Structure 1
Amino acid sequence: MSPGAGAPRMVDRKPHDLLWRRLSSFAPLSDQERSIVRQTCAAPGEVRAGTELYVEGERLAKPGALLAGWACRLRLLADGRRQIFDFLLPGDLFGHPTGAEPLATTSAVTLTAVSIASTGCLFEMVREPDRFPGLARAWAAAQARQEACLLNHVVRLGRQTAYERIAHLLVELGHRLDEIGFSLGSFVPMPLTQEVMADALGLSVVHVNRTLQQLRRERLIEMKAASLRLIEPDVLAAVADFRLPRGAPSAG
């Protein structure tokens, strides 16, 4: 696809392959492990936009993987304000207990219609690293990546300007989409509203709008409908002091 085209470009790949693609970007998977991932994704469920996948304080009973669509993890304040911590993209895992007490520390809500695979059985296999070493390593790396992204988010909120925050978030999302087959530098899906970006970055909607317009005027990004192109991803990364989380694969 030419850089100026408006439709997101993706490697020709079925949606149920996205979990395998995400996991294998962290560690090589054997043929057996790849087959297991395919079976896990064989009968996905469809969920509408605005649906809670789990709620803060509740028991995590339905671990899963996003195969299509976007979601986010957040906390709601008593007055209705919300803080979005991170975004769940196709191929991402969610709802897996990490401690002795399997309670959700955040809520997760779908931002678009999504397709979900149940990963309870896969989670049990990950606990057998001798039998499934590739899955175990990939799973651990995926959890480490999520933690690294949260640390990046703390830096964004605590020390960066609005311009840097938005640039940093866009570059991070671009790299994560590149891992599952979207070409960094071409149009990629970007279904985030300015309100959602504001709730993630601690900014007003007006501030987000002005900053996005500035990035467009500077020819650093191009936006069309629900898609985005990073025209100069390296420049944006330098502006935002963006660093790939340790262990993350490089774009390309």
Structure 2
Amino acid sequence: MTVERHDLLVFTRNPGDDAPAPPRSVSLRAGPARNRSNVRTVAWAGVLPFVVRGVMQTEMASGAGNPRLIDRKPHELLWRRLSSFAPLSDQERSIIRQTCAAPGQVRAGVELYVEGEPLSKPGALLAGWACRLRVLSDGRRQIFDFLLPGDLFGHPARAEPLAAASAATLTAVSIAGTGCLVEMVREPDRFPGLCRAWAAAQARQEAYLLNHVVRLGRQTAYERIAHLLVELGHRLDEIGFPLGSFVPMPLTQEVVGDALGLSVVHVNRTLQQLKRERLIETKAASVRLIEPDALAEIADFRLPRRVPSTG
């Protein structure tokens, strides 16, 4: 076993644990040109087909982000996420449970959808982490936002849209196809709770994107990292990982840098400063916000308004 150490987390690699890789893996850091002859088609446990375009050989050292090690029912985090926006009826809850009954397992480094291609396979992340990103021709990448357990992705806003960005897994993930839920939200009279929750979830994603614009456009490195950590802490709190405790945050410093427009060196120095000031604590692939209120004040963080659930 070899161990690659990063300040924010620890990755382990067990060569014998992985299934044979395709003849030529496609790195997430590569430019837009792709070897289409090496594309493999697999399925989310028989739910929906999708395309594997690249597989990274790194696996998580802890249970954070690993769907096999999360002791939750498959539907629980999606159920919790949507219920936080609007009350769901028993029928709506039952359909969500059925939708998530047979999730597919996807490895780290897989593109869930690709910029410029049709969004034809909507899904929900049930475990693990992913991100939305754009890769430049020279291999640099900009991460727009992170997808956490319970988040929706790849849902068309209009008929046959093209993806404005790509989405890729950062860890091994568990995914459910949500095509049936997309059909349900088109019938607000029959499924009012789900329709309200769905719209609120889309609005929340837009609010987080605006937060990201503020981070990149007006904040210092110190403020950017504090802002991102507080936002992720609150999002994890909404799905059952209490704010102020150790929570899964399987992000390398390189990934944080790609999200915030910072070098790895700058990310490392800023994290060390936050540790010295006793604002955060890290352990393997987990982070604890020791003083979340102080971090929020430093970053001028504004939590998007949330519709209380009574269901």
Work out whether residues 86 and 307 of structure 2, in 8 Å CA contact, stay in contact via their aligned partners in 1. Answer: no
Distance 1:44 1:78 in 2: 34
Tell me the number of residue pairs that the alignment of Structure 1 and Structure 2 aligns. 243
Aligned counterpart, 1:155: 214
Shift of 1:245: 1.2
Matched, 1:52 2:111: yes
Matched, 1:18 2:77: yes
Work out whether residues 112 and 168 of structure 2, in 8 Å CA contact, stay in contact via their aligned partners in 1. Answer: yes
1:217 to 276, 289, 305: 276
Name the SS for the 1:116 alignment partner.
strand
Distance 1:167 1:248 in 2: 25
Matches within 5 A, 1:198-213: 198-213=257-272
1:41 to 76, 79, 100: 100
Name the SS for the 1:123 alignment partner.
helix
Note the alpha carbon deviations across 1:4-60, whole angstroms, 9 max, x for none. Answer: xx997xx97424211000000111111111111101100100000000000000011
AA matched with 1:127: R
Structure 2 residue ranges without an equivalent (≥5): 1-61, 65-69
> Percent identity over the alignment?
87
Larger radius of gyration: 2
Distance 1:184 1:15 in 2: 22
**239-248 or 212-221, which moves further after superposition?**
239-248
RMSD: 1.7
TM-score by length of 2: 0.76
Name the SS for the 1:196 alignment partner.
helix
Name the SS for the 1:195 alignment partner.
helix
Distance 2:282 2:73 in 1: 26
TM-score by length of 1: 0.93
Q: Which has the higher helix share?
A: 1
1:78 to 102, 126, 137: 137
Work out whether residues 56 and 107 of structure 1, in 8 Å CA contact, stay in contact via their aligned partners in 2. Answer: yes
Aligned counterpart, 1:98: 157
Q: 1:72 to 1:60 in 2, by over 3 A?
A: same
Shift of 1:103: 1.0
Shift of 1:248: 6.0
Distance 1:85 1:7 in 2: 25
